[in-house]
Structures are given as C-alpha cells and as structure tokens.
Amino acid sequence: MSDVPLGSDRSLFIWEVKSKAKAFLGFREVGLKSHLRNLHKPKIPVSNEQGGVEVLNRLSKVSIPVLVGTAALFAVAGCGTTSASSNTLLNKVESTHTLTIAESAYAPEDFQNPKTKQWTGYDVDILKGFAKTLGAKLQIDSMPFSSSIQAVADKRDDLTIDIYYTKQRAKVLDFSRPMLNYNDVVAVNSKSPAIASTRLSSLKGKKVAVVLGSEEVGEANKIPNANVKQYSTVAESFLALSSGRVAADLQPDTDVAWAKQQNPSLNIKILGPVPSSIAPPIQSLRGYYGVPKGAYSQTFLAKLNAYLKKIASDGTEQKILDKYGMTNPVFLKGISSAPNSYQ
C-alpha cells in the first residue's frame, strides 16, 4: 500500500483517480463486478478530522459511474476497430466464398453461350481463376451496362467487367491495373456502307450507334451534328447497323470481329479506327476492372493486381485470349509492365 499525504482533498482526489484507473485496467483479468465492489472499499487510512472519509465517499459515488461509462466506451471502440478491419471487400469475398460481377453482354468479353446458357468469355475466365485463389466462386449479376457502374459503386456487386477508365467513373470506382489493350473502330454496314471513310467529315451529321453508358458515347458526341443512337447492348447496336437503321457503330475492334465470326449473317464490317481527334488517350483504351471506391476495396485490389500481373507475365492470359480468337500479341503488348493504376 502506498503512503498517501492527507493534507488536502486534491491529494485524495489524485490518488483516488490513479487507483481506480489501475483497477479499471484490470477489468479484463478479474471481472468488472469484482472491481466495482473493491472500488467501494476505502483503500487508504483517512482522518475524519481532515474530512477524508467524506471526500472518499463523494469520489466513489462520482467516479464509479464514470469508470463504467469509460469501460463501455473502450468496449465500443474495441468492437468498432474489429468491425472496421473485417468490413472489407476481401473479407466479404473470402467469408461468403462468392465473387459477384456486374455483368453485361459484351462478347467475347462476357456473354451467354447460346446452347448452354452459361456465361463465358475472357473476362469470365480470368475472374473465375482469380476467384479460385480466394477460395470463392464467380457469381454473375446480369444487367444492362448502363446500370453496372452504379451497382458496383453502391457495393451491390463486387466488381465490373473490364471497362475503360474515365474521370467520371473514377469518382465512384477504384480501378485495377490494365488487363488488355483495345482499339475503338468505326463499323459500317458491309453490304451498303453509308460512309466511305472514318474521317470526321464523313461521320458528320450521320446516325451513329453506341452502347448506353459506354466510353464511345463521348466519342460519338464529338462528331459534328451526329444523331447518336444509344442501345442497351452491343448486340442491339450491331443489329441496328446490319439492318441499315444507323450509318456507323463505334465499338472496340474485338467486339466487331467476334460478332461477325459468331454470326456471319450480320452485315457489319470494320471500316477503320475512330478518328484520332475524338478518340480517348491510349491509356483509356485499355481494359480495367472497377471496384467500389475507397479503403473498403484496397486489400482486394492488391490481390487482384498481383493476379493480373502474374497471368499477363506467365502466358496464362494469352491462352485464355486464344480461346476467343484473340491471338494477336498486340492485345497484351506492354500490359505486364504497366503500372498498377491508370497513368
């Protein structure tokens, strides 16, 4: 027992606070109730002549509730820390064993096999492989592309299909490292082309098809006096072009080539690249996976980036692309050495 000077109420107050603090720190070891009982017992010799008993009793009545309240605060803070550390996208995927992708039909990236009705495509194959590394299975949440960005931003889904980077999207999403090179092209009707070249002057004032919510909408809007027609899916836009309802369709070259390969009856062909004056920067013409913005996604994103770099470097991604006729090495040129973020 420590000697306590009894010369003033203040000395008693300081000693009492210190002793109760020590008692509080022992709550976890011996239990809250036991300590509260001990706190009611005077632990120092006091003199009635100096008013020590009255001071000690007064302090006990005030400080015990304070300590209980403090204990509750520490408990809440402790729970909050645990919750914050576990409330992440990575924890969600690993604990539910499910990785959910906001899916829209963009063949050969992502599409339903017409015979089996199963989702397939190189995005699906890549993300199935990644999900497996997390002990999870890939789950498809099918929707129009225009809804997919917000579905991920709102954390209803875990990530997007591979998409172009834009400043607008970066306000609500964080992006993975790039996983593929693209090239936007002007597609025309193969039987009766309404334009003869990809020059801006040829596209001026024409009906131009794009997919709602896609980067190509911005490109088409830069064409002087263009009548921009927005469709829910790339398949719908190709049907409009094939039937002559639009003069041109702005799409990634991979989608045009794949659609023609899968459906030779489509009257579509690639005329050439989108005019450079309306095309986005080359960094934007790459595929990136989008995840909910903020700290919630960062541990997940680190694992995704490591996986994407690995498969781009060891030949795994090229083997996946080969399945969909994308054998040209240009699709992965510079991808393995690219930075982990948009630059």
Q: Are 331 and 149 in contact (CB under 8 A)?
A: no
- Determine the pLDDT at residue 78: 47
Percentage of the chain exceeding pLDDT 90: 65
- Determine the pLDDT at residue 66: 44
Q: Kindly indicate the confidence band of residue 261, based on its pLDDT and cuts at 50, 70 and 90.
A: confident
Beta bridge partners of 110: 106
Rounded CA gap, 184 and 273, in Å?
6
- Determine the pLDDT at residue 83: 53
Q: Kindly indicate the confidence band of residue 152, based on its pLDDT and cuts at 50, 70 and 90.
A: very high
Q: Are 170 and 321 in contact (CB under 8 A)?
A: no
Rounded CA gap, 37 and 303, in Å?
51
Taking every pair of Cα atoms in the chain, the longest distance, rounded to a whole number of angstroms, is 112
Element (H, E) at 272: strand 268-273
Domain 184-283 has CATH 3.40.50.2300: no
**What dihedral do alpha carbons 320, 264, 208, 236 form, nearest 10°?**
-80
pTM: 0.68
pLDDT tens for residues 297-307?
999 999 999 99
> Residue 61: CB partners within 8 Å, gap ≥ 6?
none
Beta bridge partners of 270: 187
Domain definitions of the chain by residue range: 9-85, 90-179+288-328, 184-283
Neighbours of 121 (CB within 10 A): 23
Element (H, E) at 24: helix 9-25
The CATH T-level fold of domain 90-179+288-328 is D-Maltodextrin-Binding Protein; domain 2 (3.40.190)
Q: Do domains 90-179+288-328 and 184-283 have the same CATH topology?
A: yes
Q: Are 104 and 110 in contact (CB under 8 A)?
A: yes
- Determine the pLDDT at residue 84: 54
Mean pLDDT is highest, among 7-11, 181-185, 220-224, for 220-224
Q: Kindly indicate the confidence band of residue 331, based on its pLDDT and cuts at 50, 70 and 90.
A: very high
